[in-house]
Structure 1
C-alpha cells in the first residue's frame, strides 16, 4: 500500500484513508463493476415500480439482510484485541510445546473478553462471569486457551451445561430478565445443584463486576497436561495475572455505569490500547506431578475446585501484551472461533468431564454460527502454520485445492500429504492407561461442594464479605418463591453461618433447619436422593490470601481516570501542579466543567472541556480533584450535580483531593464531618499522597460512613 498523502486538514486525513496504491477507490459491486449511483434503485420511470433486473439493488439489500450471523448462545457480548506472548524462561522440563520452550519467539495472539449470560446488546457491567479466551498463532498449529476470569466452573459434567444456561437465561415465558441471574429459574437450579455453589459465591463477589477487563485475572479453569520430549506428563492449571492488579467496582457503581455508559469495559479496553497503555498479563503455571494426582482433599479433575496457590504456587513463565485493536469488529471479534480442542504438541487434555464435553460443544456451536466446517479459513481463525489435508469442498470453501487425490493412502498424489513422525513434531496423545467400566456416574471425590466456597468466603476481607452479603441479599430478594429462598439460605449456612444469618436478616426470613436433599447429590447409577448424606466439609486451609483482592497489586495509576471539577476562574496553578504529577504517572486527567466547550482559568486562558457535568457521571472516574479559584467554586456551588458527583465519589470510597478554595466547597457538602480523618481525602496535600490513594483503588475503611450518605 502506498503511503498516505499529507493532508492539511482533518477532513483530508479522513479522505486519505481511502487511497490505495496511489489511486482513489471507486465504488464497485462485489464483482468489481463500477457503480455511479447507490442512492436510487432502477425504476420504470421516475414514479414507476422498481425493476427486478436491478442487480445492484438486489446485491446491496441481500448483503444487508444477511450481514448478521447467529449470536453466541453464551459469551455473546465480547471485546477483542491483538497482541503477542513472550516466554521468560524455557519450560522444556514440563513441555515440548515450542511456545513454552523458545524464548526468542514473539507469538501472535488474539484475545476475546466477554460476559456469559447476556445478549450482544446487554451492558458491560452485568454481574456475571467474564470469558477470557486466548488464541495463540503458533508455527506448530493454533492453540486456544478458553477460560474465564474465575478459576472454577458452575458444573462438573458437560451434561449439565444446557440446564445451567437455560436456568440463567431470561425466563422463556416472558424473556425477562436480560443479563441477570437474579430470578427464580436460576436460583431454583442453583439450590438443587450444589456443585454450583463454589462458582456461585465467586459470582456474588466483586470478581463478577471488574473495574476493567485489563484489571481481571484469567484462568484456564480445567486441569490440562503438559508433555515433555521424554513423554513425561505433568498436570497444569493456567493462570493469567494482570500487571495492573485485580480491581472491581461496587454493585451500586455497576448499576449506574450500565446507565451512563453500557460500553464501559469495551471503551476502556479500546482507549487504553489507542493511547499506548497496552494491557499486560503474566501467564503462570500451577504444576502438579503425575504422582500427586490423588494427593489432595479435593479432586484436581473437578472443574468446580481450585488448587489454592498456597498449596501449589503459581510459577510465572511469560507475559502477554495487547497492542492493537481490531480493524473490523465483525470480521475479527465476532467471527473469531475459539475451540478448547485446538491444542498443539506438548499440551494435552485431562479426564475432566466438563472439558471432555466442551471439546464437542464448541466445534458444534461454531458450525452453527459460522455456517461451515471451513470456518478456519476466515482470516481471524486462519492458522499461522501451513495446512495440508484431504478435507475438500463444503459450504464457504475458499481454498482452491489442487491435485487428483483427496484421500490417504495414495500413490497418485505421491503419497502426499504424508504422515509426520512424532519425533518431527506430530501430535501424540498421552498414553494414559485406562481400565474401567462404562458408567453414568461421578467419582465420590467430586462430592464435596461446601469446603471451597467456605474457604473462599473465609479468605475475604470484611469489606469483600459485606459485598457478598449484599449480592446474595439483592439476588435472592428478586426471587418470588419463598421455598427457593429458604433452600438457598440453608445451603449458604453450610458455607458460613454468619453469611447466611446476615442474608436471612436482610430478607426478613428464617434459616430452615432442614431441607430436602438437592437432587444431584446422589452418587451412583442406582442411588436415590435419600441415599446420600452431604459430605463433611474439609478445612485443609484456614484461608487463602490469594483469593482476596486486598492482596493484589496497588502500584500503578496508569489509565486511571481522574475528574477535575471546575468552572470559569479555576486556579491554573493548582490544576497544573496536580495534572502534571498525575499524567507523569500515566493517569488520564479530564476537565469536568459546568458547561461544554472551553473553560477559562484564572489566567484567562481557555482550556478544552472534556465533558460537561450534565453529560457524565462520577462512576466513570476513579478519583476527583477540585482546584481552587473563588469564582470557579462560587459557580460550582450553584450547580447541584457537582455535589452529587462528590457525594457519589465519597460513597464509592474513592480518593478525593482539593486545594485552597476547593476545601471550602468540600466543607459545604455532607461529607464535611469526614474530611479530617479519612485516609483518602486530601486538602492542600502533597500530590504523591493523592497518587498513592488512587493506586490503592479504594479506602474501604470508609464503608460504614457511606451508609449515612444518601445520593
Structure 2
C-alpha cells in the first residue's frame, strides 16, 4: 500500500531524469573505521529539485516525444547543463534495530527523516554523453552483490535474494565473462585466476585456474574485517510481527495538500474502474485503503459507488 501512495501520487510520472530522485531500496551495512556496523540506506537527490508531470501534461509530452526524458538528459549534457545529484545516507545503529514500530529491513518502508536524518556524503555529476550506446550502456551489469570495503550486506531478505540472482541473469545476458567488459571491469588494477569461457579476451598463461594449489600459490588480497552478528533464540517459521503495512501509507496520504489528495484519489478510481477489475476486488482494495485512512476509503467508495468496509 505504501508503494501505491508513490505510484498514484504526482511523483509517479517524473518530469524527466534530471528531476528524479533515486533510492537504494535495499538496506546495506556500513562498517566504520572502528569496525562498528550500522544499517544504511542510500538516497540520490537532484540539485535542480524534484519535478513531475500531471496526467494531462504526460499525455501531451509523451505524445510529442515518446523518449522525452532520454532526449532531455542527452541535450542537457551536450549543452553543458550537467545534471547533478547529491548522495545522502541514513544510518541506524544495529542495537536500535528493534526500537521502531516497523522493520527497518522491510523494503516497503521508508525510514522517517525526522528521527533518522539524511546525511550528505557525496555527489554525482553527469558531464559526458556516451560515445557507443551498446558498449557503454547496453552491456552495463549493475549488481547489488558487488560491494567495496566498508560496505556489507544486511539481513534484508530481498537483498539476500538479489545477491544471487543478478549474477545469474547477467551471465545469461552477457556471457560468463561479463565482468571483463571494460564498462564492468574495475578501474583500478585487478587480478584473478579466471580462465577461458566465451568472450574471454584476456591471455592467461602465468598461473593455474584453481585454488588452492601447491604448484602455484596465489597471493591473497588484504582481508576486510566484517563484524559477526551474534544471534540468539530459536529459528521459527512464523508471521512477521512487525508488518505494519498501512501506517506509513496513511501518513503519506495525509501529508498531501487537498488538491494533491484529490488527484491521488482520481488516479486510484481510474485504476479500479477498469472493467476487468471485479466488484469483489474493488471491495478488497477499499478495505485496504480504509486501514490506511478512513476518509480516503470513504471518498474512493463514494466515487466507485461502493460501501466501505471499515
TM-score range, shorter chain: over 0.9
One of 241, 245, 254 as aligned partner of 1:458: 254
Matched, 1:488 2:291: no
Task: Indicate the residue corresponding to 1:326 in structure 2.
Answer: 130
- Runs of 4+ in structure 1 displaced over 6 angstroms? none
CA distance in 2, matches of 1:479, 1:359: 39
Aligned residue in 2 for 1:406: 209
Give CA-to-partner distance per residue, 1:432-467, whole Å, 9 cap, x none.
12346555445312x210001011111122222122
Deviation readout 1:625-678 (Å, 9 max, x if unpaired): xxxxxxxxxxxxxxxxxxxxxxxxxxxxxxxxxxxxxxxxxxxxxxxxxxxxxx
Q: Does 1:421 align with 2:222?
A: yes
Q: What is the total number of aligned residue pairs between the two structures?
A: 309
Q: Does the CA contact (< 8 Å) of 1:198 and 1:449 recur in 2?
A: yes
Equivalent runs, 1:189-338 vs 2, <5 Å: 197-338=1-142
Selected match of 1:444 from 234, 241, 250:
241
The aligned counterpart of 1:393 is: 196
Contact 2:35 2:225 in 1 (8 A): no
Q: Does the residue aligned with 2:183 lie in a helix, a strand or coil?
A: helix
Distance 2:98 2:47 in 1: 33
Q: CA–CA distance in 1 between the matches of 2:279 and 2:227?
A: 50
Paired residue secondary structure (2:261): helix
Secondary structure at the aligned position of 2:266 is classed as: helix
Counterpart secondary structure, 2:191: coil
Looking at structure 2, the residues matched to 382 and 420 of structure 1 have their Cα atoms a distance apart, in angstroms, of 17
- Higher-Rg structure is 1
Match of 2:274 in 1: 478
User: Could you list the per-position Cα deviations for residues 480-537 of structure 1 after superposition, in whole angstroms to 9, with x for gaps in the alignment?
Assistant: 2111111111111111122222222322333245xxxxxxxxxxxxxxxxxxxxxxxx
1:348·1:430 contact (CA, 8 Å) conserved in 2? no
TM-score calculated relative to the size of structure 1: 0.42
Preserved contact between residue 226 and residue 346 of structure 1 (Cα < 8 Å): yes
Task: Work out the CA distance in 2 between the residues paired with 1:428 and 1:455.
Answer: 40
**d(CA) in 2 for partners of 1:402 and 1:508?**
74
Change (3 A) 1:442 1:332: farther
User: What CA deviation, in whole Å up to 9, does each residue of 1:135-172 have, x standing for no partner?
Assistant: xxxxxxxxxxxxxxxxxxxxxxxxxxxxxxxxxxxxxx
2-side partners of 1:359 and 1:438: how far apart?
A: 22
Higher strand share: 1
Q: In the alignment, what sits opposite 1:384? A: 187
| Alignment partner, residue 298 of structure 2 | 501
Question: Cα distance 1:357–1:437, how it changes in 2: closer, same or farther (>3 A)?
Answer: farther
> Which deviations, in whole Å up to 9, do the C-alpha atoms of 1:357-387 show, x marking residues without a partner?
11112112112211x2210112211111323
Matched, 1:341 2:154: no
Secondary structure of the residue aligned to 2:303 is helix
Deviation at 1:390, TM superposition (A): 2.1
Give the structure-2-normalised TM-score. Answer: 0.94
- The correspondence of residues 354-365 of structure 1 with structure 2, limited to 5 A, is 354-365=158-169
Q: For the residues of structure 1 that align with 2:191 and 2:120, how far apart are their CA atoms? A: 35
CA contact (8 A) 2:193 2:207 kept: no
Determine the C-alpha separation between the residues in 2 that align with 1:355 and 1:437. Answer: 23
Report if the CA contact (8 A) 1:479-1:485 is conserved.
no
Structure 2 residues not aligned, in runs of 5+: none
* Correspondence list, 1:307-706, <5 A: 307-370=111-174, 372-413=175-216, 415-416=217-218, 418-422=219-223, 427-435=224-232, 439-445=236-242, 447-480=243-276, 481-512=278-309
Shift of 1:266: 0.7
SS at the partner of 1:357? helix
Q: 1:464 to 1:357 in 2, by over 3 A?
A: same
Q: 1:280 to 1:442 in 2, by over 3 A?
A: farther
Counterpart contact for 1:238–1:285, Cα < 8 Å: yes
Q: CA RMSD in A?
A: 1.7
Matches within 5 A, 1:162-181: none
Q: Deviations over 1:40-59 (max 9, x none)?
A: xxxxxxxxxxxxxxxxxxxx
